[in-house]
A and B are shown apart, each in its own frame.
Chain A
Amino acid sequence: MESTLHQQISAMKQSLLDEGFVDGHFVELELLEDGDNLHFTEEIITLFFTDSARLIVDVEKELNNDPIDYSKVDKILHQFKGSSSSVGANRVRLQGTKLRESCKDGDVEGWKAALKQLKKEHATLKEKLDTYFQLVKQLGSEKKTMWHPNEGQVDMLAKNQLMKMAITKDEKVEFGHKDMVKKGTGKEPGKVVTEEEAVKVVSDEESVQMVAK
């Protein structure tokens, strides 16, 4: 059963995609989240905003020089394109490209307008993603483990905890094993199991098989 918060997050992500703020590469970042780093997306996005803000400052500084060294500007914007595309910051990347093209053409009015718009897109994306990650964090703190026998749907945090413990102890863990769940937690399958209870199950002297998700 999907919580309202979960639905809200999904809807927000879809909206960010539909409006072109982010593209598929942003979604791919979330696919890299697992095990040791469940906050990879937020961390790399935070890193991106810090780094890209610096690049924008550097570009503006170069463009305010007289004469302008357009090759330096181009190098900065080349880097900007690489990092913005890597995190799926679509509109920001596109605006960076427009700025680069205006600079290449020596179009002063063009690059002034493009730089202004780039800053705006950058700030807008940051604001939207700050809100997004706040919701994601909220979801994380509200999460419980749901054990679904034979359906394989297990809360990611508990699953990762179990995998870590299983691998550490050289055991194998089965998700959805009815008897094991009931023995370890006293709960019927399908009932909510907390992370602490999940840890307890693995700690027990019993080995079961890991079920691929």
Chain B
Amino acid sequence: MKLLNGINSNKKSCQQGISSLGNGDLISDEKLTALVVDSDIICQVLEKAILESQGIQAQVVGSGRDAIDLLASGVNFDLIIIAMVLPIMNGVETTRQIRAMGIRSKMLGVTACSYERERRAFLDAGVDEFIEKPLTPQKLASVLREIRNA
């Protein structure tokens, strides 16, 4: 199944710096990068596909521990999308630890059920924004705009 190898619609054009609008114009060589931290395979696949459809290079891990290890190894991401419910160490605690490492990437917290107390806890831990699943290109748009304008 190709899904887990990555799905994209404009990946090649973005890699080669060719505008996906098809007018042949060159776009910036700089690709945005994103880390998806989610243990649910459906969400992993979908979020990666949505990110890649927006020309973003995405990597996926299934736990908070894996996310921390990856970031600690020196890999940087422009955007981290992190689920609230994760095995062993939840999204809130993972976010706290990521921020404590000094990582200033844009962080987007996602959850299937957005109760106010969960939202508050996630924001207090350090995510910049919080959305209810599923992630959609529309929900992602404003986040990407902020990153690109930064």
Q: Which of A35-59 contact B (CB under 8 A)?
A: 35-37, 39-40, 43-44, 47-48, 51
A-B pairs under 8 A by CB, number? 102
Using CB atoms, name the residue of chain A closest to B112.
Answer: A82
In the complex, chain B residues whose CB is within 8 Å of the CB of A87: 42, 46
Distance between A187 CB and nearest chain B CB, rounded to angstroms: 23
In the complex, chain B residues whose CB is within 8 Å of the CB of A86: 42-43, 46, 133-135
Distance between B12 CB and nearest chain A CB, rounded to angstroms: 5
Distance between B106 CB and nearest chain A CB, rounded to angstroms: 21
Using CB atoms, name the residue of chain A closest to B23.
Answer: A212
Candidates B3, B16, B39, B112; contact of A47 at CB < 8 Å: B3
Distance between A2 CB and nearest chain B CB, rounded to angstroms: 23
Q: A47-B41, A86-B43, A210-B23 in contact; A79/B85 too (CB < 8 A)?
A: yes
In the complex, chain A residues whose CB is within 8 Å of the CB of B22: 210-213
Using CB atoms, name the residue of chain B closest to A79.
Answer: B40
Candidates A40, A83, A163, A167; contact of B3 at CB < 8 Å: A40
Whether the pair B134, A43 counts as a contact (CB closer than 8 A) is no
**Does any Cβ of B come within 8 Å of A81's Cβ?**
yes
Q: Which of A137-183 contact B (CB under 8 A)?
A: 163-164, 167, 170, 172
In the complex, chain B residues whose CB is within 8 Å of the CB of A32: 7, 9, 49-50, 53
Q: Indicate the size class of the contact surface on chain A.
A: 35 or more
Whether the pair B8, A35 counts as a contact (CB closer than 8 A) is yes
How many residues on B have C-beta within 8 angstroms of the other chain's C-beta atoms?
36
In the complex, chain A residues whose CB is within 8 Å of the CB of B46: 29, 44, 86-87
A87 to B136, CA, bound (A): 11
Q: Which of B13-51 contact A (CB under 8 A)?
A: 13, 16, 18, 21-24, 39-43, 45-46, 49-50
Whether the pair A43, B40 counts as a contact (CB closer than 8 A) is no
Distance between A171 CB and nearest chain B CB, rounded to angstroms: 10
Using CB atoms, name the residue of chain A closest to B38.
Answer: A82
**Does any Cβ of A come within 8 Å of B117's Cβ?**
no
Candidates A37, A82, A170, A209; contact of B40 at CB < 8 Å: A82
Distance between B104 CB and nearest chain A CB, rounded to angstroms: 27
Q: A32-B7, A32-B53, A43-B3 in contact; A164/B12 too (CB < 8 A)?
A: yes
**Does any Cβ of B come within 8 Å of A6's Cβ?**
no
**Does any Cβ of A come within 8 Å of B75's Cβ?**
no
Whether the pair A81, B10 counts as a contact (CB closer than 8 A) is no
In the complex, chain B residues whose CB is within 8 Å of the CB of A211: 22
A25 to B137, CA, bound (A): 11
Q: A86-B133, A167-B13 in contact; A37/B43 too (CB < 8 A)?
A: no
In the complex, chain A residues whose CB is within 8 Å of the CB of B111: 82
Q: Can you report 8 residue pairs joining A to B where beta carbons are below 8 Å apart? A: A40-B49, A44-B3, A47-B41, A79-B39, A79-B112, A82-B133, A210-B22, A213-B22
Given contacts A43-B3, A44-B49, 12 further A-B contacts (CB under 8 A): A28-B137, A34-B9, A44-B45, A75-B85, A78-B85, A78-B112, A79-B39, A82-B133, A86-B135, A164-B12, A167-B16, A172-B24
Give 4 closest A-B pairs by Cβ, nearest first: A34-B9, A82-B112, A83-B42, A86-B134
